[in-house]
Amino acid sequence: MDVSARIEAVYAQIVHRNPGESEFHQAAREVLPALAPVLGAHPEYLEARIVERLCEPERQLVFRVPWVDDDGEVQVNRGFRVEFNSALGPYKGGLRFHPSVDLGIVKFLGFEQIFKNALTGLAIGGGKGGADFDPKGRSDGEVMRFCQSFMTELHRHLGEHTDVPAGDIGVGAREIGYLFGQYKRLTNRFEAGVLTGKPVAWGGSPARTEATGYGTVHFAQEMLRTRKRDFDGLTVVVSGSGNVALYAIEKVHSLGGRVVACSDSSGHVVDPDGVDLALLKEIKEVRRQRISAYADAKPSAVFSGRGSVFELPCEVALPCATQNELTEQSAIALVKNGVMAVAEGANMPCTPAAIEIFREADVLFGPGKAANAGGVATSALEMQQNASRERWTFAQTEARLAAVMTEVHTLCRATADRYGCSPDDYALGANAAGFVRVAEAMAAQGVV
């Protein structure tokens, strides 16, 4: 069986074993063809069935999460943790609390996490988790009781040398605090390294909050430099207005770019004067209001509940909201309006058709597993600080983050070139480079 046929057989097996999990199927379909040149050069990986083993999680946890709301009513949610691969280190990946979460979503995120974590060069494996719980509109007491119930089951599977979750959509400092408190209560240990994304006051890392957004912009800046450009004077659009989007906007502005649009699930705002970040943070992080409140407070801004930020003229687009938000139609509009670079701040926000359009138009495209690796890289740096009982300064941590993102960018280009592709093919470079690091470790550790 040749390499292409073997890859198709693996994909068919994934679809058969994981019926209805379309996001996981999509993630596998994006990764597997990129591995063909690697497998052709390393037949020993085929013989050891590295790809087949890599695509099957080491452990999949599904559990009930019962809790009591403020009205005294019992609620029941479903929790998940997919511990996908530990060849390079303990499972590492966030927890997502959102109504859309199911096993397929968690599996797709965990699969992507394997390659993303490997690209950082740090000793972390891949995993992901979450629940179909929606923290929006819930009181602090309800969120606390849910988190305590969730951790009561999950804690037996965690540990700083086993599995280290962090935050994701719907899981911020508040939720991490409640989760950690329950873990500490159940285990009778202040094991700071078991969760990352903690507040700095009790074991968190400076720059962790900013890391994913900052890292995405660092990666985009490196891509632009290959064409002798940078963010200075460029017009940028950012989807989302959560943690990743906010700090991507902040970093773009610090580099001289101008973000003219951002969004949330209700619509988007356009501000030709440039997004007022202080106002946006006030609305989203303090008032917890919809994005339309920004336009109400800023005369130069316009809110729209229709269309997309990606229909606006820009040189750089940063999709930072959720999976499959940037469609083929959006990609066509971006290319028509002169976009030069797209870097994924979210996980798999661009559809396969959109990515193909960018490739055909010679638009620089940074896949999420490379472009947004700064968040998990800084989580690993938080683990280092916890293990050594040290606290770095913001400047120290950001410098390490920038260095990691530069190294990831260099590795992607070098790997694509090594396997006979254009160095601008960041998608192939990221997939191949991450795979090689994991495959080497799996081969060395035997059939486990």
Structure tokens at 391: 């606290």
198 annotated active-site? no
Instruction: Give the pair of three-digit tokens for residue 347.
Output: 């996980």
Closest CA to 431 of 111, 127, 184: 111
Beta strands (DSSP E) in 265-358 are 267-270, 302-304, 316-319, 341-343
Q: How many residues are recorded in the chain?
A: 448
Q: What are the backbone dihedrals phi and psi of residue 392, each rounded to the nearest 5 degrees, phi first? A: -85, 165
Q: How far apart are CA 401 and CA 73, in angstroms?
A: 45
Phi, psi dihedrals of residue 207, rounded to the nearest 5°: 75, 0
Q: How many H helices and E strands in the chain?
A: 18, 12
What one-letter code names the amino acid at 306?
A: R
Distance CA 408, CA 10 (A): 27
To which residue do tokens 């074991």 refer?
A: 203
Choosing from 92, 116, 128, 251, the catalytic residue is 128
In the block, which residue shows the tokens 């969760």? 195
**Structure token digits, residue 214:** 């900052």
How far apart (Å, rounded) are the C-alpha atoms in residues 127 and 136? 25
Sheet-wide strand order for 91-97: 59-68, 74-85, 125-131, 91-97, 163-167
Exposure string for 420-430, b = 16+ CB within 10 A, e = fewer: ebeebbbbbbb
Residues designated as active site: 128
